[in-house]
Amino acid sequence: MTAETLPGVRDALPTDVAAMVALGGRVPGAEPVEARRARLGALVSDPGAVVLVATDEEVVQGFLAAAVGDPAPVHGGAGPVGYVDDLAVGEGFDWWRVGGALIARARERLKGAGAVRMIVTTGGGDPVKQAFLWRSGLTLVTESYEQPLP
């Protein structure tokens, strides 16, 4: 991979939200469109959040949304954690090129915001994304299942 093939990565703008909503809708089990639009719009406007888009010729090819917070008990450890709660790319074959550029920039930004670790949450069901995360040096920490109790 050469530098010329990597997409540009920049902070997301309010005008990127529609493209981010569309990309996030491709994720298995994605939340309803209006809820996704409201959540991503709020994150883009939040100065404490790290919301990035990867672009080719200003066309959004992927995005990442993260925030720094205290470690959840299940994750333990000392120091703030960079939680990546949303990560999507346009095409599955683009995880290395687009996803890799987003993860690399997120590492820099989250570390700069005081995080000592990065945790990427996934809903499962996307083996290509899971393989990308594993091959990018992330380790599977936990898998959870839930059921409402009436």
Low-confidence ranges of the chain (pLDDT < 50): 1-3
Confidence at residue 2, expressed as pLDDT on a 0 to 100 scale: 47
CA–CA distance, 122 with 103 (Å, rounded to integer): 14
60-104: pLDDT as tens digits: 999 999 999 987 766 566 789 999 999 999 988 899 999 999 999
Burial class (CB in 10 A: 0-12, 13-18, 19+), 50: buried
CA–CA distance, 17 with 115 (Å, rounded to integer): 25
CA–CA distance, 113 with 48 (Å, rounded to integer): 9
Burial class (CB in 10 A: 0-12, 13-18, 19+), 130: middle
Contact in structure between 98 and 61 (CB atoms under 8 Å): yes
